[in-house]
Amino acid sequence: MTKRILLGVAATALVIVAAYADFYVAPTERTMGLIQRIFYFHAATAWAGEMVFFVCFVANLMYVWKREQKYDWLGVTCAEVGVACITIVLITGPIWAKPVWGIYWTWDARLTSTFVLWLLYISYLLLRTLIEEPSRRALLSALFGIFAFLDVPLVFFSIRWWRTQHPAPVIMGGQGSGLDPTMKKVFYFNVLAMHIFCAFLIVERYILEKLRHDVDLLQREAEVQ
Partner 1 sequence: MKNLDSVFAAYIVGWAVFFGFFLSIVRRTSALAAEVDRLKNSIRPKG
Residues that bind partner 1 (CB under 8 A): 19, 33-35, 37-38, 41-42, 45, 80-81, 84, 87-88, 91-92, 95-96, 98-99, 197, 201, 204-205, 207-208, 211-212, 214-215, 218-219, 221-222, 225
- The partner residues of 207 in beta bridges, in order of sequence, read none
Task: Quote the radius of gyration of the chain (alpha carbons, Å).
Answer: 20
For residue 165, the minimal CB distance to partner 1 (Å) is: 18
For residue 124, the minimal CB distance to partner 1 (Å) is: 16
For residue 201, the minimal CB distance to partner 1 (Å) is: 7
User: What whole-number distance in Å separates Cα of residue 225 and Cα of residue 214?
Assistant: 17
For residue 68, the minimal CB distance to partner 1 (Å) is: 21
Helices 109-130/38-66 angle, 10° precision: 40
User: What whole-number distance in Å separates Cα of residue 63 and Cα of residue 57?
Assistant: 10
Q: How far is CA 83 from the centre of its chain?
A: 6
Between residues 36 and 160, which has the closer beta carbon with respect to partner 1? 36
Between residues 120 and 201, which has the closer beta carbon with respect to partner 1? 201
